[in-house]
Amino acid sequence: MFDTVLVANRGEIAVRVIRTLRSLGVRSVAVHSDADADARHVREADTAVRIGPAPAAESYLSAERLLEAAARTGAQAVHPGYGFLAENAGFARACAEAGLVFIGPPADAISLMGDKIRAKETVRAAGVPVVPGGRDPELADAARELGAPVLLKPSAGGGGKGMRLIRDLSVLEDEIAAARREARASFGDDTLLVERWIDRPRHIEIQVLADGHGNVVHLGERECSLQRRHQKIVEEAPSVLLDEATRASMGEAAVQAARSCGYRGAGTVEFIVPGGDPSSYYFMEMNTRLQVEHPVTELITGVDLVEWQLRVAAGEPLAFAQDDLRLTGHAIEARICAETVSVKEGSRGFLPSGGTVLKLREPQGDGIRTDSGLSEGTEVGSLYDPMLSKVIAHGPDRATALRKLRSALAETVTLGVPTNAGFLRRLLAHPAVVAGELDTGLVERVVDDLVPTDVPEEVYEAAAAVRLEALRPRGGGWTDPFSVPSGWRLGGEPRPVGFPLRITDPVEYVPRGSATVTDDRVAVTLDGVRHTFHRAADWLGRDGDAWHVRDHDPVAASLTGAAHAGADSLTAPMPGTVTVVKVAVGDEVAAGQSLLVVEAMKMEHVISAPHAGTVAELDVTPGTAVAMDQVLAVVTPAEASADAPVEASVEEER
């Protein structure tokens, strides 16, 4: 076993790897950018090395700086986690050339499986079924031959970036161009492939482990069908869809796929499965790294996958054969992301968020595991992936695991940074999810039922109680009656006192219940029902949801907002960087026309014209860093236009 391992990553996966290194008695080395100098993974490692400025290209994606950090600290091996350089064959080769062990598969296996076209050809030759499709340079012809619907995918990529589902081939050329642009930006390679789209598919993947002595096993499947825009948000093991025969068949196919590329270490073979015929499964791709959702496999098998990554990389053979592995109980994982989830705020539904973690409560206990990179005081910005943590529940059966996970999400508190925890809790209670009737489009179909359109009255009641408590007189002595918000009037009856508040729309809220306020909690009783909230500064939280409550001064708002009031201005929906500007001042634009692209947390957001008109102001250029609500452009409406106004001004792309 190694004496020292450098963890070439950040956030929750770095903390996760450090935990196993500590349990094995291996010294851990963390790396960090300037933005992460006080991050949790830095504090939990045995030592840490600064590797550069905040942008990932100058720190976490710099092979040179990572190798230098390994040399300075005497590391013998590098664990890449996932993301960043985890599936970069060049980095794996650079580690070997520097005399370091790359804790992952051989570079040739990464190269082969990282090219989706070559990967499909290789596994097909090994007898693994693949989805019918085509590739560049005959991409458009292949798509037309397959017939709609088809799915465009970057050959070099993953994580849903650059993928386009096309149901109308009349837009094929435009979609190909958009997919190429995102693939080039994300992976440096705009090669695409096209596959037949399977309606209402299920996404099921098989975990494999291979050593350097010819042994390959699978550890069962994970179902990852609960996705939003091709991004997994909930994963579970095992899948309710598979019977033992299909599980064994898919497992053997995954083993053969691993053997076909000379795999070593932990990897995942992903399949697309028709819900109506699970025996007709098709290979999609192989992820040559540890997966985000690996904890569910660990909980049902009792195998520490990070430990076996280390042992295999150190040259040890697997200590178990296929027949030794047993699946026990059921495990489900939910990904907590820095994300604004609100249709009330229009274009801000499901957009990256940020801020400072003011109060943190992460569930633990019987059957509950939280993998997290957070601590109170953590600054969440727009430079890195939005995933903050993962909450995983394990129980003797699926119903128990679901119940435990919903309860754990209700206990999750991340005040100061909006997250999707409340949304995930509601998703896990949806009848289709409870029944196990899943497919990759389910979340998009039911999302409107899971996102609240209004702020509950008890939230305003709690906010008003906090404001009232802050205004109460302290100490003894005389109190000026005019300074107390009691409603008292000279020579008249007391009148209700309202508090001007803003959560979404400004309101003047008059309390009508009773409340108890402490430093970190607010309890309000409204219509005989008691509601308890966590609180920190101007934030309130309950059951995984959080609300940022601000005072509203209509006079100040009218003064500061006068310059860019109304629907003419386009503002940044989140902190990020402008990557594309498609118009100039004076250009005539149509309603819904794409004007700019803002990127944040590995996602592109297309900013569109709210109505037909003329670009009157343009305050940004490509590369401009923008804050939330910063004005990007102003479009003055045309005097007479047949175009109807469009409600949404932002379209999210991954």
Mean pLDDT by 10 residues, the chain (654 residues): 98 98 98 97 98 95 98 98 96 98 98 92 96 87 92 81 89 92 88 88 97 98 94 97 96 98 98 90 96 98 98 98 98 96 58 92 96 96 91 98 98 97 97 97 92 92 92 66 56 69 89 94 97 97 95 69 57 84 93 87 80 91 84 83 42 46
What topology is assigned to 133-196 in CATH?
Dna Ligase; domain 1 (3.30.1490)
Q: Where in the chain is the domain with CATH 3.30.1490.20?
A: 133-196
CA-based nearest residue to 56, from 15, 8, 6: 8
Take residue 33 and report the two structure tokens written for it.
Answer: 């950018």
Tell me if residue 340 falls in helix, strand or coil. strand
Burial of 579 (C-beta count, 10 Å sphere; 0-12/13-18/19+): middle
The structural architecture, per CATH, of the domain 104-131+202-327 is 2-Layer Sandwich (3.30)
Residue 362 CA to residue 639 CA, distance in Å, equals 54
The per-residue pLDDT for 367 is 97
First to last CA, the chain: 39
The 3-class secondary structure across 130-187, one letter per residue, is ECCEEECCCHHHHHHHHCCCEEEEECCCCCCCCCEEECCHHHHHHHHHHHHHHHHHHH
329-442 has CATH 3.30.70.1150 classification: no
The per-residue pLDDT for 493 is 60
Residue 489 CA to residue 249 CA, distance in Å, equals 80
Q: Where in the chain is the domain with CATH 3.40.50.20?
A: 4-103
4-103 has CATH 1.10.375.10 classification: no
Residue 350 CA to residue 451 CA, distance in Å, equals 10
The per-residue pLDDT for 182 is 87
The per-residue pLDDT for 619 is 86
What topology is assigned to 566-653 in CATH?
OB fold (Dihydrolipoamide Acetyltransferase, E2P) (2.40.50)
Q: Where in the chain is the domain with CATH 3.30.470.20?
A: 104-131+202-327, 329-442
What does pTM read for this prediction? 0.85
Radius of gyration of the chain (CA): 27
Residues 522 and 465 sit within 8 Å (Cβ to Cβ): yes
The per-residue pLDDT for 347 is 42
Q: Where in the chain is the domain with CATH 2.40.50.100?
A: 566-653
